Structures are given as C-alpha cells and as structure tokens.
C-alpha cells in the first residue's frame, strides 16, 4: 500500500471511530513497538479466530 492510499484509509478510519480512539490505538501501537496497521491486523486476525471456533451451543 502506498503512502497516499494508507493516508486515505487512516483518514476514513479516523472519521468512523473518532480521533480520540485513533489516538489511543496509535499510543498502543507505539507502546508495543509496532505500526498501527500491524496492531489492527493482529486484532482482526484474533477476532476472526474467535469467530471461527465453535461455541458448543446448538443453533
């Protein structure tokens, strides 16, 4: 992803979640020493794994 595309994605993301939440995500990424994209990608992967696991409940 080029810088212009990434800037557009992050601007849209900020518009959707708000500047305060994006700022918190940026601080957490800095704390962990990773990029915001890496942090979000890991969170999405973790969420997808949880969604794929059976809950043991009958539908």
Q: Given this model, what pLDDT does residue 57 score?
A: 66
Q: How confident is the model at residue 3 (pLDDT cuts 50, 70, 90)?
A: confident
CA distance 13 to 22: 8
CA distance 32 to 22: 15
Q: Is the pLDDT of residue 58 over 70?
A: no
């Amino acid at each position: 992803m080029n810088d212009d595309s990434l800037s557009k994605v992050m601007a849209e993301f900020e518009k959707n979640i708000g500047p305060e939440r994006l700022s918190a995500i940026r601080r957490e990424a800095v704390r962990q020493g990773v990029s915001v994209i890496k942090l979000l990608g890991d969170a999405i992967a973790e969420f997808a794994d949880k969604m794929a696991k059976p809950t043991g409940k009958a539908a």
